[in-house]
Amino acid sequence: MSIYSRRQRRSTINIWPGFVDALSQLIMVIIFVLLVFTAGQFYLTDALSGRDTALKQLTLQLNQLTDVLSLEKASNADLKLNLSKLNQDLQATQAQRDSAQQQVTATNTTVDQLNAQVAALRDQLAQIATALDASEAKTKADQLQIVDLGTRLNQALATKVEELARYRSEFFGRLRQVLGNRPDIRIVGDRFVFQSEVLFDIGSAELAPGAKQQLVSVAQALKQISAEIPPDIDWVLRIDGHTDSRPINTAQYPSNWELSSARAQSVVRFLIEQGIPPNRLAAAGFSQYQPIEQGTSEDAMRKNRRIELKLTER
């Protein structure tokens, strides 16, 4: 009886309200957890959104920094290149400075040497100036002597010229006496003039037979006068050959130069044969360029064809 009654009492106990309470509490816990989760999710979402914004800003800043870094790297590379160039320029400048210092040192050495040379030259100039002063004094004395000697020399030369002129006049006078007053032999100034026809045939430099007799008289008169001329007078008898203006062109005489010179030389050779010393004779040819008569008449041509004898100083 008792066992049955216990079973009956147990079966009559209602557990559902407790279950409902427990379930309600469980639901409330779940709802609370969900609310907490939702709030946390909201706050987490908000935090994540803020972090995304911050991350975007950081990414943007990072990109900007990356660009700045790239620019800095490029600038750094340029700076390194410029630094390298500056180092090279600095080394070149230092080399130039060293070279300039060496040049300055060499220049200073040269300047010192030049200063020493200038000092030596100044000493020499002082000595030269002293010597010049002494030389000027001596020069003044010498100039006085030179003036005196020049005066005496001019007087002596004038005396010699006068003496030679006297002997020339005497020589021409004796020739005039020997040769006579022939129209083709005359005195012109300080010269004794033979017309070429007296001594030579036309176009020839060979002495004609009658010419030698005339020249023998000249040689004799010259020897007489030369014996009277003092030894200190250095005289010479110059024989000048002249032609007229008509040109000559032969195998022996291509022009009047050769003809005039050959005629003067023929006279010189004959006088040497007559005993006149060769050192007292001179021959010259003037062609047709020293006429004594202007014009082209036959008389002018004849007068210009001549041999001149001139007793003069050497």
pLDDT beyond 80 at 151: no
Cα→Cα distances 61→47, 67, 73, Å: 20, 10, 18
Of 64-68, 78-82, 95-99, 143-147, the one with minimum mean pLDDT is 143-147
The whole-number average pLDDT for the span 61-78 is 81
Confidence of residue 282 (pLDDT cuts 50, 70, 90): very high
Q: Give the whole-angstrom CA distance, residue 149 versus residue 283.
A: 34
CATH (domain of 234): 3.30.1330.60
Higher pLDDT, 174 or 97: 97
Q: Count CB-CB contacts under 10 A for residue 212.
A: 14
Q: At what angle do helices 256-273 and 209-228 cross, to 10 degrees?
A: 60
Q: In the predicted model, is pLDDT for residue 236 greater than 80?
A: yes
Confidence of residue 162 (pLDDT cuts 50, 70, 90): low
- Residue 255 is assigned to a structural domain of this protein: yes
Q: How many Cβ atoms from other residues are within 10 Å of residue 178's Cβ?
A: 13
pLDDT at 12 over 70: no
Residue 114 inside a domain? The answer is no
Tell me the β-bridge partners of 241. 285, 307
Q: Amino acid letter at 96?
A: Q
Instruction: Establish if 118 belongs to a structural domain.
Output: no
The reply to whether 191 falls in a domain is yes
197 is written with which tokens? Answer: 């026809």
pLDDT value at residue 174 = 66
pTM of the predicted structure, to 2 decimals: 0.49
User: Has residue 170 got a pLDDT over 90?
Assistant: no
Q: What is the mean pLDDT of residues 220-237?
A: 83
The closest alpha carbon to 225, from 186, 188, 276, 185, belongs to: 276
Q: Where are the alpha helices (DSSP H) in the chain?
A: 2-11, 16-179, 196-199, 209-228, 256-273, 298-304
Residue 65 lies in a domain: no
Split at pLDDT 50, 70, 90, the class of 183 is low
Which of the residue ranges 36-45, 209-218, 279-288 would you say has the lowest mean pLDDT? 36-45
Counting the structural domains of the chain, the total is 1
- Residue 37 pLDDT grade (very low, low, confident, very high; cuts 50, 70, 90): confident
Residue 7 forms part of a structural domain: no
**pLDDT of amino acid 291:** 93
Average model confidence (pLDDT) across the chain = 81
Whether the pLDDT of residue 217 is over 90: the answer is no
User: What is the reported pLDDT for 285?
Assistant: 95
Parallel/antiparallel/unpaired status of strands 235-242 and 306-313 = antiparallel
Phi, psi of 247 (to 5 degrees): -75, 155
Which stretch of 36-50, 143-157, 259-273, 281-295 has the lowest confidence by average pLDDT? 143-157
Residue 15 lies in a domain: no
Domain containing residue 188: 181-313
For residue 56, is it within any domain? no
The Cα–Cα gap between 127 and 240 comes to 57
